[in-house]
């Protein structure tokens, strides 16, 4: 078979039609509703207890900390109230012995110590004034009411959130292993160590990174329109959106949460955990490459949406497709023209230990390179094939074939992303109201992650698919504004701390 024809055949397998998009939107809406009603569903729809989004006029000085996999970041954020902010930060690598400490206290004491060091260095007067007041007998409690730093705690491990600043650690991931902490409230653990050091800091909010993205975008977006959705397309994919409180039915029964949030806005941000949309594969596409990737993954059968959309997986999908074409001996991919077509290894330009033959051997950034390549003779793609995969002397036809397949994988990911975005747009009802005022009619979406930031035309593909959804159409699509949320984890956490600071904290009231 001719090479271009073989590549187009593979590309066709990644076709995701208008009908497919619309069927998936319908299923997404169904799973959203199901998730709002009960626990243990495909879309988790986790209530975040965050009930207000900023509009850019918020002011004040806040703190944020971020415990990710490798580093602990401490920052303070000055919100200027005009959609801009200044950020001061420090970053420290978590020592290996702390990641596997015997007690939770060891980890959280380490974190509190970093906060103390940060305050001493960057907020010296505030810190020293505080220490002096303690020395002169002003009680901690009195001080806390006045000049306390409200802190947002971004904690990227699975937690069962039970209040805006309360969440129980479900399990550790990413190399952490401190059994003592499992099942405990991570905010309380941090606050306890902060209090031991008499720091003027209150852990005001527990933050998920998608919610941070939504808040950060809502603050920085132009105009006073509040943002509807924060979405991440990076290593993984997930989204958090503003839901009407009355629809979060599973909240109603949780008596222990009464008073843990401010119901006056009538809204609450919900973390969809959409990476696990349609794990049952009712509507998601499933090429042989998707199926094989899932089979060989550490978590077969789960995160099925994420496995077709996010940066961790797209390179691997393409790798599998390319290998399939390569193994078809009748197709001249990476094969010398004049050699026998029957002996693969003697005829290819690839060494056997090319990372093309290794699971996870192709990074998703390669898709961006190939898809965006308009250099003469696809020189850039051929260079990348050489550099990343050790394929030297790839022909222009080889590069063109790979480009066709890469584009198909990327386009499908963007159209699937449009399913999630489109369903949330429809659910929000925001397109149903038209004021005629262009600024007020904007529906704003904040995004973050290397895929959406660097894959050429990702947003255009998303928009194309959104227009194919009848409830949105060309008119609705025009009203959508999509913007990158920079520094989401720091600014977002600060903004959540701000919102949380306005809510009476039941933990404080109970004297805990
Ligand atoms: P994180 O998810 O850890 O916050 P990123 O948003 O940077 O980090 O996403 C990292 C993911 O994006 C990785 O899976 C990587 O393969 C992918 N990626 C990195 N650069 C690009 C690029 N230029 N185009 C597409 N994907 C990319
Ligand atoms: Mg990120």
Give residue 253's pLDDT.
58
Residue-wise pLDDT tens digits, 428-454:
999 998 888 888 899 999 999 999 999
User: Quick one: pLDDT band at residue 143, thresholds 50, 70, 90?
Assistant: low
> 3 alpha carbon to ligand 1 midpoint, in Å?
30
pLDDT of residue 255: 46
| Percent of the chain surpassing pLDDT 90 | 70
**pLDDT surpassing 80 at residue 264:** yes
Q: Which ligand ends up closest to the CA of 314? A: 1
Cross-strand partners of 488: none
> Which atom of ligand 1 sits closest to the CA of residue 311?
14
Name the helix (H) or strand (E) containing 28: helix 18-37
Question: What is the reported pLDDT for 342?
Answer: 45
Query: Which of helix, strand or coil describes residue 448?
Result: strand
| Over residues 200-228, mean pLDDT | 91
What is the structure's pLDDT at 173? Answer: 76
DSSP type of residue 58: -
Report the alpha-carbon distance of residue 117 to residue 383 in Å, rounded: 47
Highest mean pLDDT among 79-88, 393-402, 462-471: 462-471
Question: Cβ(427)–Cβ(32) under 8 Å?
Answer: yes
First-to-last alpha carbon distance for the chain, in angstroms, is: 72
Residues with Cβ within 8 Å of 343's Cβ and at least 6 positions away in sequence, in order, are none
417 CA distance to ligand 2 middle (Å): 17
Cα of 309 vs centre of ligand 1, distance in Å, is: 12
Of 382-386, 393-397, 446-450, 483-487, the one with minimum mean pLDDT is: 483-487
Question: What is the model's pLDDT at position 251?
Answer: 82
Residues 6+ apart with CB under 8 A from 395: none
Q: Name the least confident of 28-32, 79-83, 98-102, 126-130.
A: 126-130
For the chain, give the number of residues. Answer: 512
CA of 449 to the centre of ligand 2 (A): 5
Can you tell me the mean pLDDT for 172-201?
93
Q: Could you read off the pLDDT of 352-368 as tens digits, one per residue?
A: 889 999 999 999 999 99
- Please say whether the beta carbons of 458 and 440 come within 8 A: no
CA-nearest of 343, 338, 356, 464 to 402 is 356
pLDDT tens-digit readout, 6-64: 999 999 999 999 999 999 999 999 999 999 999 888 899 988 888 889 989 999 999 99
Continuous segment of H or E residues that includes residue 44: none
Helix and strand numbers (H, E) in the chain are: 21, 13
Of the candidate ranges 68-82, 106-120, 310-324, 494-508, the one whose mean pLDDT is the lowest: 494-508
Within 8 A by CB and 6+ apart from 261, the residues are: 49, 50, 51, 163, 164, 268, 503
Whole-model pTM: value is 0.88
Contact by Cβ (8 Å): 151, 497: yes
Which among 174, 235, 319, 410 is the best mutation to test ligand 1's pocket, defined by most ligand atoms within 8 Å of the CB? 235
Q: Name the residue with higher pLDDT: 502 or 84.
A: 84
Alpha helix (H) ranges present in 123-248? 124-135, 140-147, 186-196, 209-220
Question: What per-residue confidence (pLDDT) applies to 146?
Answer: 61
With cut-offs at 50, 70 and 90, classify the pLDDT of residue 341: very low
Q: Closest ligand 1 atom, CA of 315?
A: 16
Protein residue with least CA distance to atom 11, ligand 1:
235
Helical H runs in 63-183?
96-99, 104-122, 124-135, 140-147
Residue 258 has pLDDT above 60, yes or no: no
Q: What is the pLDDT of residue 42?
A: 87
Q: Quick one: pLDDT band at residue 492, thresholds 50, 70, 90?
A: very high
DSSP structure class, residue 264:
G
Distances (CA, A) of 155 to 65, 69, 95, 158: 8, 10, 17, 8
pLDDT score at 506: 47
Residues catalogued as catalytic: 156, 171, 209
- Say yes or no to pLDDT of 137 above 90: no
261 secondary structure, DSSP code = S
Residue 508 has pLDDT above 60, yes or no: no
pLDDT at 462: 98
Predicted confidence (pLDDT) at residue 499 exceeds the cutoff of 90: no
Q: What percent of the chain has pLDDT over 70?
A: 92
Residues with CB under 6 A from ligand 1: 234-235, 311-312, 363-365, 368, 449-451, 454-455
Q: Which atom of ligand 1 is nearest to the CA of 310?
A: 14
- Dist. CA 453 → ligand 1 center (Å): 9
Beta strand ranges found along 164-320 (DSSP E):
166-169, 201-207, 227-233, 237-244, 267-271
| C-alpha 234 – ligand 2 centre gap (Å) | 6
CA distance 193 to 106: 9
What pLDDT does 511 receive? Answer: 38
Under the banding of pLDDT at 50, 70 and 90, the label for residue 140 is: low
Question: Of all protein residues, whose CA lies closest to atom 23 belonging to ligand 1?
Answer: 365
Task: For residue 24, give both structure tokens.
Answer: 């998936």
pLDDT at 128: 86
> What is the tens place of the pLDDT at every residue in 404-428?
999 999 999 999 999 999 999 999 9
* Mean of per-residue pLDDT scores for the chain: 89
Q: Which atom of ligand 1 is nearest to the CA of 236?
A: 2
Q: Which of 364, 367, 459, 486 to mutate to test the pocket of ligand 1 (most atoms within 8 A of CB)?
A: 364
State the DSSP H helix or E strand holding residue 330, giving kind and residue range, or none if neither.
none
pLDDT, position 299: 84
Pocket test of ligand 1: the residue of 67, 234, 373, 457 to mutate, having most ligand atoms within 8 Å of its CB, is 234
Q: 301-335 pLDDT, tens per residue?
A: 989 999 999 999 999 999 999 999 999 888 989 87
Q: What is the pLDDT of residue 129?
A: 84
Which atom of ligand 1 is least distant from the CA of 449?
Answer: 6
């Amino acid at each position: 078979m001719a090479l271009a024809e073989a590549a187009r055949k593979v590309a066709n397998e990644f076709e995701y039609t208008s009908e497919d998009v619309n069927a998936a939107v319908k299923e997404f809406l169904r799973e959203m509703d199901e998730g709002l009603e009960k626990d243990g569903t495909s879309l988790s729809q986790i209530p975040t207890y965050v009930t207000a989004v900023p509009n850019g006029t918020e002011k004040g000085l806040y703190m944020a900390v971020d415990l990710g996999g490798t580093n602990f970041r401490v920052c303070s954020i000055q919100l200027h109230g005009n959609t801009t902010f200044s950020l001061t930060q420090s970053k420290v690598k978590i020592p290996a012995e702390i990641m596997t400490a015997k007690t939770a206290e060891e980890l959280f004491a380490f974190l509190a110590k970093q906060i103390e060091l940060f305050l001493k260095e960057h907020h010296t007067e505030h810190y020293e004034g505080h220490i002096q007041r303690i020395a002169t007998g002003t009680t901690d409690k009195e001080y806390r009411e006045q000049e306390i730093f409200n802190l947002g705690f971004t904690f990227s491990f699975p937690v069962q959130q039970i209040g805006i600043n309360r969440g129980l650690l479900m399990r550790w991931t990413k190399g952490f292993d401190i059994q003592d902490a499992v099942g405990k409230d991570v905010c309380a653990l941090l606050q306890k160590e902060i209090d031991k050091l008499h720091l003027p800091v209150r852990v005001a909010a527990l933050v998920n990174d998608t919610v941070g993205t939504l808040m950060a975008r809502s603050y920085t977006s132009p105009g006073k329109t509040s943002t509807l959705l924060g979405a991440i397309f990076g290593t993984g994919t997930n989204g958090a959106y503003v839901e009407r409180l009355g629809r979060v039915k599973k909240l109603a029964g949780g008596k222990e949460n009464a008073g843990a949030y401010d119901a006056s806005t009538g809204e609450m941000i919900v973390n969809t955990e959409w990476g696990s949309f349609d794990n049952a594969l009712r509507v998601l596409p499933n090429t042989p490459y998707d199926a094989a990737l899932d089979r060989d993954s550490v978590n077969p059968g789960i995160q099925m949406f994420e496995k077709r959309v996010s940066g961790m997986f797209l390179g691997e999908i393409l790798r599998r497709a390319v290998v399939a074409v390569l193994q078809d001996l009748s197709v001249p991919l990476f094969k010398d023209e004049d050699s026998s077509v029957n002996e693969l290894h003697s005829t290819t330009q690839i060494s056997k230990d090319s990372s093309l033959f290794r699971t996870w051997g192709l990074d998703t950034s390669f898709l961006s390179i190939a898809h965006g390549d308009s250099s003469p003779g696809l020189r850039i793609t051929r260079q990348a094939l050489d550099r990343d995969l050790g394929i030297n002397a790839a022909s222009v036809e080889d590069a063109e074939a790979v480009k066709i397949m890469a584009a198909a994988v990327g386009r499908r990911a963007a159209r699937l992303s449009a399913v999630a975005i489109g369903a949330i747009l429809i659910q929000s009802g925001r397109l149903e109201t038209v004021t005629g005022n262009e600024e007020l009619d904007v529906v704003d979406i904040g995004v973050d992650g290397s895929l959406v930031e660097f894959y050429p035309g990702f947003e255009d593909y998303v928009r194309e698919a959104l227009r194919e959804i009848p409830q949105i159409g060309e008119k609705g699509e025009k009203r959508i504004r999509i913007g990158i949320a920079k520094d989401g984890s720091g600014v977002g956490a600060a903004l959540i701390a701000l919102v949380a600071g306005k809510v009476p904290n039941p933990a404080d009231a109970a004297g805990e």
